[in-house]
Amino acid sequence: MIQGTASHVGKSVLVAALCRIFHRQGLRVTPFKAQNMALNSFITQEGGEIGRAQAFQARAAGVVPSVDMNPILLKPSSDTGAQVIINGKVHANMNAKAYHAFKPHLRGTVQESLNRLKKRYDIILMEGAGSPAEINLKENDLVNMGAARMAGAPVLLTGDIDRGGVFAALYGTVALLDKEERPYLKGMIINKFRGDVSLLTPGLSMIEDKTSLPVMGVIPYFHDLYLPEEDSVGLKNTQGPSGAAIKIGVVRLPHISNFTDFDVLAMEPDVSLIYINSGKDLQQFDAVILPGSKNTLTDLTYIRQRHLTDSLIKFAGDGGTVAGLCGGYQILGRVIHDPGHVESKLEEVAGLGLLDVTTTLHPRKTTTLDEARFFDRAKAFPLTGYEIHMGVTEHGADASPLFEITSRNGTPCKVRDGASNSSGRIWGTYLHGIFDNDAFRHDFLNTLRQAKGLPPLSGTGIFYEQKLEESLDRLSETVSNALDMEAIMNIIDRGIM
pLDDT of residue 459: 63
Whether 78 shows a pLDDT value over 90: the answer reads no
Nearest to 305 by CA among 279, 338, 343: 279
Can you point out the beta strands (E) in 183-228? 185-193, 215-220
More confident residue, 306 or 431: 431
| Segment holding 472, helix H or strand E | helix 464-482
pLDDT digits (tens, 9 = 90+) for 222-263: 877 777 766 655 566 777 777 899 999 999 999 999 999 999
Query: Beta 287-290 vs 321-325: how paired, if at all?
Result: parallel
Domains: count for the chain = 2
State the pLDDT at residue 129: 96
Give the residue numbers marked as catalytic. 326, 432
Q: Are 339 and 360 in contact (CB under 8 A)?
A: yes
- 34, 142 Cβ separation under 8 angstroms: yes
54 and 139 in a single domain? The answer is yes
The verdict on 254 and 209 lying in the same domain is: no
Per-residue confidence at 329, pLDDT binned at 50, 70, 90? very high
Residue 477 predicted with pLDDT over 80: yes
* Same domain (yes/no): 221, 351: no
pLDDT at 120: 97
- Mean pLDDT throughout 187-196? 95
Residue 211: its pLDDT value, please? Answer: 97
pTM recorded for the entire structure: 0.92
Asked if pLDDT for residue 270 goes beyond 70, the answer is: yes
Instruction: With respect to residue 124, please indicate whether it lies within any of the assigned structural domains.
Output: yes
Answer yes or no: is pLDDT of 330 > 90: yes
Q: What is the mean pLDDT of residues 98-112?
A: 95
Query: Is residue 271 predicted with pLDDT exceeding 90?
Result: yes
- The pLDDT of residue 68: 98
Average of pLDDT values for 393-416? 96
Mean pLDDT, residues 26-50: 96
Strand partners, 239: 273
Residue 312 has pLDDT above 90, yes or no: yes
Of 21-30, 156-165, 275-284, least confident by mean pLDDT is 275-284
- DSSP code for 158: E
10 Å CB burial of residue 11 (0-12, 13-18, 19+) is buried
- The proportion of the chain whose per-residue pLDDT surpasses 90, expressed as a percent, equals 81
Looking at residue 262, the DSSP 8-state letter turns out to be G
Residue 197 inside a domain? The answer is yes
418 and 478 assigned to the same domain: no
254 and 385 belong to one structural domain: yes
Average pLDDT, the chain: 93
In a domain, 462, yes or no: no
Residue 434: which domain range? Answer: 246-453
- Same domain for 435 and 290: yes
pLDDT for residue 107 is more than 80? yes
Can you tell me the distance from the alpha carbon of 14 to that of 202, in angstroms, rounded to the nearest whole number? 25
